[in-house]
């Protein structure tokens, strides 16, 4: 299985267009050892030709251009993307669907009923796409039932319900239901190895930890270093936990959980522009390095 990290930033990317925080301002000035990041999305393939896109970020056009296999030019209008999986209905994971409206047939989109509800009511992108080629919705179960996707050769997908937060426009905001947020196990049947992907994670539940423990690669929420990171930067009075993200540095946080896992390669994704780990020379980054926890970057390739 080939995994390409198209975008590794949180909502707004890095630098964020209107942000002058310590990280964003230094990146623009060239005074930080770091790299720009688009909003989080990955794509996976079991045969090298047909690709499943996980989340469609607002930066999808540039991300497709950055990875030629997604635009193989076999005919006048073409794409290597065979289907799309949505982990949630967040703006930074779904707005790219509008950018991709010129597809020559309905997109095959896989998501839970809770996400489908948001995408047809509070944020009705699916309804808007009906005026173009439309969407073929495939309901994803929250019962951890494995499923296959046509053309996604050798790959088996399993949705794993997560405790996080529904989008602000969702009727489930602050009262989440199963399926508002899911991670995915992606298994390659030809190698027996698997990826666990969860760009949004608010609580480390036992079943989630089990999936992570049994994975060969874990790509998990790396949004913030501390729970109060946004308020300390004077950006927002919301805690990360209120936005559905488990911070890295607190007791019981992402860093502690990952450090206890022996099997998988551990990589952080969906990194907010305020997070000090974006600075490759920061003390926080050194702490992750010492624990063998990687920080993802746009264009990162993983083969398992």
For the stretch 250-265, pLDDT in tens is: 999 999 999 999 999 9
Give 290's pLDDT tier (boundaries 50, 70, 90).
very high
Q: Is 261 exposed, middle or buried (0-12, 13-18, 19+ CB in 10 A)?
A: middle
Q: Is the pLDDT of residue 158 over 90?
A: yes
What is residue 238's predicted lDDT score, i.e. its pLDDT? 81
Evaluated on CA atoms 130, 89, 196, 268, the torsion sign reads positive
Handedness of CA 69, 65, 80, 269 (dihedral sign): positive
Instruction: Say what the pLDDT of residue 235 is.
Output: 84
Whole-number CA gyration radius for the chain: 18
Residue 294: pLDDT band (50, 70, 90) is very high
- Tens-place pLDDT, residues 18-58: 999 999 999 999 999 999 999 999 999 999 999 999 999 99
* Per-residue pLDDT at 234 exceeds 90: no
Determine if residue 119 is left, alpha or beta; phi over 0 gives left, psi from -120 to 50 gives alpha, anything else beta.
alpha
Average pLDDT, the chain: 96
CB-based contacts of 1: which residues, under 8 Å, 6+ apart?
44, 45, 46, 154, 155, 186, 188, 191, 193, 195, 303, 304
Percent of the chain exceeding pLDDT 90 equals 91
What pLDDT score was predicted for residue 164?
87
> Region 98-124: what's the mean pLDDT?
97
> Helix, strand or coil for residue 295?
strand
pLDDT at 293 over 90: yes
What pLDDT was estimated at residue 230?
A: 82
Q: Which among 47, 55, 62 has a CA at the least distance from the CA of 83?
A: 55
Amino acid 212: pLDDT:
98
Q: Give the mean pLDDT of 67-86.
A: 97
Burial of 17 (0-12, 13-18, 19+ CB in 10 A): exposed
Percentage of residues of the chain with pLDDT beyond 70: 100
Say whether pLDDT at 111 is over 90.
yes
pLDDT at 241: 82
Maximum Cα interatomic distance, the chain, rounded to a whole number of Å: 54
Residue 76's pLDDT is 95
Ordered by where they begin, the domains of the chain are: 2-303 (3.60.15.10)
Query: Which of the four pLDDT bands, split at 50, 70 and 90, describes residue 243?
Result: confident
Beta-strand (E) ranges in the chain? 2-7, 41-45, 51-54, 81-85, 107-111, 135-139, 155-161, 182-188, 194-198, 217-221, 265-269, 293-295, 301-303
Query: How does pLDDT run across 168-210, given as a tens digit for each residue?
Result: 999 888 888 999 999 999 999 999 999 999 999 999 999 999 9
Band (227; pLDDT cuts 50, 70, 90): confident
Mapped onto helix, strand or coil, the DSSP state of residue 25 is: helix
């Amino acid at each position: 299985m080939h995994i390409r990290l198209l975008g590794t930033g949180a909502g707004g990317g890095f630098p964020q267009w209107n942000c002058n925080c310590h990280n964003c301002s230094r990146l623009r000035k060239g005074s930080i050892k770091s790299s720009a990041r688009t909003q989080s999305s990955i794509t996976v393939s079991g045969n090298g030709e047909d690709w499943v896109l996980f989340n469609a970020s607002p930066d999808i056009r540039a991300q497709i251009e950055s990875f030629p296999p997604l635009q193989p030019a076999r005919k006048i209008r073409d794409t290597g993307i065979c289907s799309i999986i949505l982990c949630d209905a967040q703006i930074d994971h779904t707005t790219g669907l509008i950018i991709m409206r010129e597809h020559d047939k309905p997109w095959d989109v896989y998501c839970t009923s809770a996400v489908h509800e948001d995408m047809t009511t509070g944020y009705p992108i699916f309804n808007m796409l009906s005026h173009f080629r439309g969407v073929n919705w495939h309901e994803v179960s929250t019962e951890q039932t494995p499923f296959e996707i046509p053309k996604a050769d050798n790959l088996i997908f399993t949705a794993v319900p997560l405790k996080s937060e529904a989008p602000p426009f969702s009727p489930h905001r602050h009262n989440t239901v199963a399926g508002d947020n899911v991670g995915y196990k992606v298994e390659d049947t030809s190698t027996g190895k698997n990826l666990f992907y969860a760009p949004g994670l608010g609580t480390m539940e036992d079943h989630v930890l089990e999936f992570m423990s049994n994975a060969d690669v874990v790509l998990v929420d790396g949004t913030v270093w501390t729970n109060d990171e946004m308020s300390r930067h004077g950006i927002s009075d919301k805690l990360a936990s209120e936005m559905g993200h488990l911070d890295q540095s607190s007791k019981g946080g992402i860093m502690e959980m990952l450090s206890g896992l022996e099997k998988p390669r551990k990589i952080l994704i969906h990194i907010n522009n305020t997070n000090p780990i974006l600075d490759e020379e920061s003390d926080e980054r050194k702490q992750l390095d010492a624990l063998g926890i990687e920080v993802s970057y746009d264009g990162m390739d993983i083969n398992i």
